[in-house]
Amino acid sequence: MLLSPHRRLAAGAGAALVAALAGTLVPAAPAAAAQAPARTTAPAQAPAPAPDMAGVTAALNAALANGAPGAMARYSGPEGVRSRTVGVQDRTTGEAMDVRSRFRIGSVSKTFSTVVLLQLVDEGRLELDAPVDRYLPGLLPDERITVRHLLTHRSGLADYTDPMFERTVPGFEAVRNRVFTYQELVDLSLALPRTTEPGVSYKYSNTNFVVVGMLIEKLTGRPVADAYQRRVIKPLKLRGTSYVHPDTRIAGPHVRGYLHPDEAGAPLVDSTEQTVSWAQSAGAVISTTADLDTFMSALMRGRLLSPAMLDAMTTVTPTDTAHTRFYGLGLRRYDLSCGAQVYGHTGTVQGFYTYAFATRDGRRSVAALANTSNHGAANTALGGVLETAFCGAPKTATAVKPAAPSASSAPAARSLDSAPSATDGPAERDLPERH
């Protein structure tokens, strides 16, 4: 086990925390708005199918057909490591997409930030259901907002990126080289109307994870880059992962990102170099597909958190009416058509779409990238990698259509006429998109 002694709970304290979590996993809310947490694991299932790598390639090619210059995916599982690449990672040189190259992972950074914060909970340095005001006095206007509300996107804090990127390219160019303080980003959010009362409903907001970064720095007394390095990157030997804010460069071989303007047919904008200061702890990590597979697999295997914290992180509530998409603590869960439940995060930063997911036992993982953004069809197409990698090739025979799954049950077995999967519809958006 990689989890070091200072991150483990003492036996008595761990039991007490498990008991406390069992009673407080979902904040109090009006009966009509609150939703019970979903089960964190699926019932016993047949052996997992082998990945359909031809299907993975088809999903990558679909991303190209929908505007991405290049795309790639890396699968790791009992069958070994399998990778596929299509298109180019540099439109100027024509350099082919390389699965070893680094790229900006956008909101997958939120899972890194959550791991660090939950390690601090493991160490007794903060409480999930304590008000943020206890640790950052006077920062937020509502003392009811808790640490858990931030990690589950239930704080009601408005997402400052909505007006920031209302016009995609002009908005990006205005912040490409700008360096923000955390306080400036929080102030941008507080100038907007709140989206919900604390704890009532899920509403994705980058502001939540800016505050998470502030908590990490307040409790450790060090920059968030130091926390990533000491607590995640170095222990897991993630050699291609870094947090270089406010440097604009991606060191070493890397993928160039291309942003679609809002105007149809307008030329792509090379968005590779930027500070990502508008996101910081919400989205500024750089990584590789291999490192993301390692990270998600290690997380799910319990190498970074205590069992109590991992259970809290993977306890989820629905974010869509079909109950195929869920959110826990800085972690998404997708329920796929074959019954597989996969945990991870999506990522969008200008010029890059990322998926990084693993099964709950950590035995299988997938990381995928398309080097474009503000083009939702490419994002949705890339999401098809999850179905083909985790569910294998489609069955050739049809079956009776199953009943719609409930929030607490796994979907029925995959068939040609089964209910739509988590990746059939438009992809979830981590940033506003216009095209």
Give whole-number Cα distances, 332 to 125, 269, 285, 360, in Å.
Answer: 25, 29, 18, 12
Which pLDDT value is given to residue 396? 62
pLDDT of 4 > 70? The answer is no
| pLDDT tier, 36 (very low <50, low <70, confident <90, very high otherwise) | low
pLDDT mean across residues, the chain: 88
pLDDT value of position 434: 86
CB of 171 closer than 8 Å to CB of 165: yes
Instruction: Evaluate whether 401 touches 344 at the Cβ level (below 8 Å).
Output: no
Averaged pLDDT, 254-259: 98
pLDDT digits over 347-386, tens only? 999 999 999 999 999 999 999 999 999 999 999 999 999 9
* 290-301 mean pLDDT: 98
Name the residue with tokens 């498990």: 18
- Tokens 């409480």 -> residue: 127
Q: What is the DSSP letter of 230?
A: I
Q: Would you state the pLDDT for residue 31?
A: 37
Q: How far, in Å, CA of 317 to CA of 332, rounded?
A: 10
Q: What pTM did the predictor assign?
A: 0.86
pLDDT at 38: 56
For residues 264 and 20, which has the higher predicted lDDT (pLDDT)?
A: 264
- How many other C-beta atoms are found inside a 10 Å radius of the C-beta of residue 256? 23
Give me 422's structure tokens: 């988590």
Residue 73 CB burial class (10 angstroms; 0-12, 13-18, ≥19): buried
Q: Give 8's pLDDT tier (boundaries 50, 70, 90).
A: very low
Q: How confident is residue 2, by pLDDT bands cut at 50, 70 and 90?
A: low
Residue 28 tokens read as: 């109090």
Q: Which residue has the higher pLDDT, 305 or 10?
A: 305
Structure-block tokens of residue 151: 């990690």
Rounded Cα distance between 289 and 295, Å, is: 10
Q: Which residues are catalytic?
A: 107
- pLDDT value at residue 339: 94
Token readout for 327 is 């959110």
**Among 158, 131, 156, which Cα is nearest to 146's?**
131
Q: Is the pLDDT of residue 30 over 50?
A: no
- pLDDT for position 421: 52
- The mean pLDDT of 3-18, rounded to a whole number, is 40
- Residue that wins the pLDDT comparison between 175 and 409: 175
pLDDT given for residue 44 in this prediction = 52
> Region 28-38: what's the mean pLDDT?
45
pLDDT above 70: residue 289: yes
pLDDT of 235 > 50? The answer is: yes
The pLDDT tens digits for 14-26 are 444 333 333 333 3
Q: Residues of the chain with pLDDT > 70: what percent?
A: 83
Distance CA 123, CA 10 (A): 10
pLDDT of residue 322: 86
